[in-house]
A and B are shown apart, each in its own frame.
Chain A
């Protein structure tokens, strides 16, 4: 049964909807139903249903009847004709703090407000503690709310609203009011409701949010419903309805289609949109103010089937954006430039490519990984890649079952301080984002009058996964039968066939100097040198005067991993290790002295817990599991035997660790300037012998 039924609903208002006076001509005449009333139809024959668990967006221009529709569904007003029915409890973010009175205490207001929202005392009492805790103002709860700060007031109101537990949640333009923090909380709450499978009706101007949150979009235009097949179509139609058609141009060539629409750009591959939200958009910041490209006045200057030049004149900056867009084969080339009419100080340049959350793996220079899930509590854009790594090339791979193409982006920046970052957007927008940004140094802030190139994106679509991987990893890989070892910025990722054996930071080294752990992933790594099957890479520490040189060379069933330490000044090392972090499917371990299991991960149990009892030095440590090959870390006897230690990482980040640990038993390990062989191990991977 649908939770909301709207059947042929119209709502008309008398055109002069003023407050009459009874003793005026209009008043008495109106009361006696004399005189014709001019009417205005806010809604006209609107029909739809909403099923439980759906999230439906309502969009439309101002005055198109969106708010009236929400009011009708909330039951706050009645339709002039037609029928609205709701089966379940309704709550809306509009009701925040309804009935709050400043003289009453927080406690009294909780009961009153919840009562107005339809809760009984007994129900409020059940969640009372939880409301107080959520609000975080327990110690003020018996003070009158007029002693509260506005932040506390909103928190309390929000806490009550958050506990009403409605079946249907109505969200109006509320996200446009309140401070940043409040908006973020609202967004988080909406995402949470979405997670819990509640039904949401959502009115917003934020099309990106509507697009990512809603399965279905209802477009109202002058009180009538405009029906389109899916949210994308509806939003596109809406943008054409409100947008300036002069600023829209569609390029197409083969499988690739690009819609440049008034300062943002959506990309399609085989008719599927791979961009999310606003797609590709630029931003400039001048004098602490953000200027989005989509707020400019756009015009297509020259256009062809597979290329165009779009010009967007900004209103508040003497700048005209010039976008040159071209499709070459399966590559979209987008050049972002600006034409300054006067000298302009610009302190930030940014371009964001928002892509669908169906992309789950990222590649960034010589790094790769999996995008973290976007959680409801993510209310800001979170960088996925460490900001101190620089690369010009990045790629994203979609989920296996997705029909979206791979995306490989090569960014040419015309300003030296440009950086590229993979990030997740907030949970409301729900997209991955490749951001190119540049904080312009103060000395360069002044952009002279004339044309400036800022950025060029080469976006290559539809390569196979292998092609993408090869393009970005081939140079850095050792192919050893079924085993592939990929060097990635201070760590080695191990694949066996298609199975990834390692996790988190994979195989890496760390050294303790002056009580500070120096992980190899934090060194600054240079380019990979390759001589036949032998890889050499060196990474400099930014903290201490040394560098590590890694030498990887194939051996039978694996490879040797020699780590040389080049000290530029004398260094004292307290201890150091080479470790492999394996996936949690590894369940057993074995050293030369004993064997055991990796216990399950328990919250509360200390991170990096040692599982062995014998600390005698040894030659081998092996981990095994079901249906995965054994992994052995083998010490080089010439180098001196380390302690072979199995560990579990913490419950938060789950991995099984094999560690070859060198400790200074009596005093510090002292290195004179020069190059020293410091760790020498082999990593051997072979299928289990007994199977």
Chain B
């Protein structure tokens, strides 16, 4: 019965995450596809929503800031401001949607956790998976719009996967951490909801880091460093830089988020694994 041995004293071992997840990959994919099917089966326009949401968000932000305030956010043309908005939105929404749903995921699937033994990581990871699919759609729209509005994909675009890798590590780490904490302290998910709204404004989405933030905060080092604690600052700026401006990313703006993501991933995985075994006592 190899593969079906269970021992309670090994359950808290962090190194067991990988073999266990590898064995549960089909389950992970099943849960992702279940979620997608549920989400789109009865929705009138099906997957179209996945296209419409970032576009509508971009349209309203463009209307408010681009037209009402006549704001450019460091972009050269109004068209590039729209692309810049969409870039920020697509990658921001990946994080915010994943963390919002991810934090609640274990509690929502409480009856599963309470009944069956499987690597608990699968539950928040399936939320990441679902949002990855949406991100894929968002990215396709982004690239389409970018090329349509006369942009050209330069060599620096090879940085995109690297940047995204950093963001993914961050999202996975935070999703693991927040979902496990939410099992023990149920207000964590509300804190996350409020935090994400605040972070939306503290992240260069409808404005630009180098054009709008840097010149103004450089004289307030304390405020500046606090602002830089947000890993999405560096990531969104870098996405724009390599995609729209075809420039290599600023080292600082990649290194800081990379370190933060690494820490988030390790802390998230360890905390999650330490608590995974007794989550059912609290669900």
**Nearest Cβ in chain B — how far from A48, in angstroms?**
15
Bitwise interface map of A from 74 to 108 toward B, beta carbon under 8 Å scored 1, else 0:
11111100111111111010110011010110001
- Cα A83 to Cα B111 in complex, Å, equals 25
CB contact list, A116-157 vs B, under 8 A:
116-118, 120-121
Q: Which residue of B lies closest to A9 (CB)?
A: B8
Binds A, one of B26-34, B73-81, B158-166: B26-34
Report yes or no: A115 in contact with B26, Cβ–Cβ below 8 A: yes
Report yes or no: B8 in contact with A75, Cβ–Cβ below 8 A: yes
Report yes or no: B34 in contact with A104, Cβ–Cβ below 8 A: yes
Which of B42, B115, B280 is close to A95, meaning CB atoms less than 8 Å apart?
A: B115
Report yes or no: A78 in contact with B186, Cβ–Cβ below 8 A: no
Q: Does B152 contact A (CB under 8 A)?
A: no
Q: Does A442 contact B (CB under 8 A)?
A: no
Which one of A17, A71, A118 has the greatest number of beta carbons of chain B within 10 Å? Answer: A118
Bitwise interface map of B from 243 to 283 toward A, beta carbon under 8 Å scored 1, else 0:
00000000000000000000000000000000001111110
Report yes or no: B26 in contact with A120, Cβ–Cβ below 8 A: yes
Bitwise interface map of B from 1 to 14 toward A, beta carbon under 8 Å scored 1, else 0:
10011111101100
- Cα A72 to Cα B117 in complex, Å, equals 10
Contact A22:B37 (CB < 8 A) given known A88-B4, A167-B1? no
Report yes or no: A77 in contact with B184, Cβ–Cβ below 8 A: no
**Nearest Cβ in chain B — how far from A125, in angstroms?**
12
Residues of B within 8 A of A108 (CB): 34, 37
Contact A116:B6 (CB < 8 A) given known A19-B282, A104-B38? no
Report yes or no: A21 in contact with B34, Cβ–Cβ below 8 A: no
**Nearest Cβ in chain B — how far from A147, in angstroms?**
13
- Cα A92 to Cα B115 in complex, Å, equals 9
Report yes or no: B34 in contact with A167, Cβ–Cβ below 8 A: no
Q: Does A422 contact B (CB under 8 A)?
A: no
Bitwise interface map of A from 31 to 57 toward B, beta carbon under 8 Å scored 1, else 0:
100000000000000000000000000
- Cα A373 to Cα B4 in complex, Å, equals 35
Report yes or no: A116 in contact with B4, Cβ–Cβ below 8 A: no
Contact A76:B4 (CB < 8 A) given known A71-B280, A83-B9, A115-B27? no
Q: Does B185 contact A (CB under 8 A)?
A: yes
- Cα A112 to Cα B35 in complex, Å, equals 11
Q: Does A246 contact B (CB under 8 A)?
A: no
Residues of B within 8 A of A544 (CB): none
Q: Does A20 contact B (CB under 8 A)?
A: yes
- Cα A183 to Cα B27 in complex, Å, equals 30
Residues of B within 8 A of A9 (CB): 8
Residues of A within 8 A of B168 (CB): none
Report yes or no: A84 in contact with B8, Cβ–Cβ below 8 A: yes
Report yes or no: B5 in contact with A77, Cβ–Cβ below 8 A: no
- Cα A120 to Cα B29 in complex, Å, equals 11
Q: Does A27 contact B (CB under 8 A)?
A: yes
Report yes or no: B116 in contact with A98, Cβ–Cβ below 8 A: yes
- Cα A71 to Cα B187 in complex, Å, equals 27
Which one of B9, B185, B188, B277 has the greatest number of beta carbons of chain A within 10 Å? Answer: B185
Q: Does A111 contact B (CB under 8 A)?
A: yes
Q: Does A287 contact B (CB under 8 A)?
A: no
Report yes or no: B111 in contact with A98, Cβ–Cβ below 8 A: yes
- Cα A413 to Cα B265 in complex, Å, equals 79
Report yes or no: A111 in contact with B30, Cβ–Cβ below 8 A: yes
Report yes or no: B186 in contact with A75, Cβ–Cβ below 8 A: no
- Cα A201 to Cα B272 in complex, Å, equals 30
Q: Does B112 contact A (CB under 8 A)?
A: yes
Report yes or no: A89 in contact with B4, Cβ–Cβ below 8 A: yes
Report yes or no: A85 in contact with B41, Cβ–Cβ below 8 A: no
**Nearest Cβ in chain A — how far from B104, in angstroms?**
13
Q: Does B118 contact A (CB under 8 A)?
A: yes
Residues of A within 8 A of B111 (CB): 98
Residues of B within 8 A of A15 (CB): none
Report yes or no: B8 in contact with A76, Cβ–Cβ below 8 A: no
Residues of B within 8 A of A21 (CB): 185-187
Q: Does A568 contact B (CB under 8 A)?
A: no
Q: Which residue of A lies closest to B25 (CB)?
A: A120
Q: Does B191 contact A (CB under 8 A)?
A: yes
Interface size range on B against A = 35 or more
**Nearest Cβ in chain B — how far from A307, in angstroms?**
52
Report yes or no: B6 in contact with A75, Cβ–Cβ below 8 A: yes
Which of A27, A90, A94 is close to B185, meaning CB atoms less than 8 Å apart?
A: A27
Q: Does B114 contact A (CB under 8 A)?
A: yes
Which of A22, A85, A111, A118 is close to B181, meaning CB atoms less than 8 Å apart?
A: A22
Contact A87:B30 (CB < 8 A) given known A21-B186, A99-B112? no
**Nearest Cβ in chain B — how far from A365, in angstroms?**
52
Report yes or no: B117 in contact with A75, Cβ–Cβ below 8 A: yes
Q: Does A13 contact B (CB under 8 A)?
A: yes
**Nearest Cβ in chain A — how far from B194, in angstroms?**
11
- Cα A120 to Cα B27 in complex, Å, equals 8
- Cα A78 to Cα B118 in complex, Å, equals 13
Residues of A within 8 A of B281 (CB): 13, 17, 77
Contact A76:B115 (CB < 8 A) given known A87-B4, A90-B6? yes
- Cα A117 to Cα B113 in complex, Å, equals 12
Residues of A within 8 A of B1 (CB): 87-89, 167
Q: Which residue of B lies closest to A31 (CB)?
A: B185
**Nearest Cβ in chain A — how far from B29, in angstroms?**
9
Which of B9, B38, B118, B185 is close to A116, meaning CB atoms less than 8 Å apart?
A: B118
Residues of B within 8 A of A72 (CB): 8
- Cα A190 to Cα B112 in complex, Å, equals 23
Contact A85:B5 (CB < 8 A) given known A22-B185, A22-B188, A99-B112? yes
- Cα A80 to Cα B49 in complex, Å, equals 47
Report yes or no: B38 in contact with A98, Cβ–Cβ below 8 A: no
Residues of A within 8 A of B115 (CB): 74, 76, 92, 94-95, 98
Which of B8, B186, B279 is close to A85, meaning CB atoms less than 8 Å apart?
A: B8
Q: Does A386 contact B (CB under 8 A)?
A: no
Q: Does A23 contact B (CB under 8 A)?
A: yes
- Cα A27 to Cα B191 in complex, Å, equals 14
Report yes or no: A118 in contact with B8, Cβ–Cβ below 8 A: no
**Nearest Cβ in chain A — how far from B174, in angstroms?**
15
Which of B34, B37, B112, B277 is close to A78, meaning CB atoms less than 8 Å apart?
A: B277
CB contact list, A273-323 vs B, under 8 A:
none
Which of B5, B42, B113, B117 is close to A103, meaning CB atoms less than 8 Å apart?
A: B42
**Nearest Cβ in chain A — how far from B3, in angstroms?**
9
Residues of B within 8 A of A92 (CB): 115
**Nearest Cβ in chain B — how far from A606, in angstroms?**
47
Report yes or no: A78 in contact with B11, Cβ–Cβ below 8 A: yes
**Nearest Cβ in chain A — how far from B34, in angstroms?**
6
- Cα A74 to Cα B113 in complex, Å, equals 11
- Cα A167 to Cα B37 in complex, Å, equals 33
Contact A116:B27 (CB < 8 A) given known A74-B117, A98-B116? yes
**Nearest Cβ in chain B — how far from A84, in angstroms?**
4
**Nearest Cβ in chain A — how far from B220, in angstroms?**
29
**Nearest Cβ in chain A — how far from B160, in angstroms?**
33
**Nearest Cβ in chain B — how far from A121, in angstroms?**
6
Residues of A within 8 A of B42 (CB): 103
**Nearest Cβ in chain B — how far from A363, in angstroms?**
48
CB contact list, A615-660 vs B, under 8 A:
none
Which of A85, A103, A118 is close to B118, meaning CB atoms less than 8 Å apart?
A: A118
Residues of B within 8 A of A79 (CB): 8
- Cα A79 to Cα B34 in complex, Å, equals 32
Q: Which residue of B lies closest to A124 (CB)?
A: B26
Residues of A within 8 A of B277 (CB): 77-78
Would you give 13 A-B contacts (Cβ < 8 Å), ordered by A?
A13-B281, A19-B185, A21-B187, A22-B181, A22-B185, A77-B279, A84-B6, A84-B8, A90-B6, A98-B116, A112-B34, A118-B4, A167-B4
Measured CB to CB, the residues of B under 8 A from A are: 1, 4-9, 11-12, 26-27, 30-31, 34, 37-38, 41-42, 111-118, 181, 184-188, 191, 277-282
Which 8 pairs, one residue from A and one from B, show the smallest C-beta to C-beta distance?
A78-B277, A22-B185, A75-B117, A84-B8, A21-B187, A85-B7, A86-B6, A88-B1
Additional A-B contact list (10), CB under 8 Å, known A9-B8, A77-B277: A20-B184, A22-B188, A23-B191, A77-B280, A84-B6, A87-B5, A88-B1, A98-B112, A104-B38, A115-B27
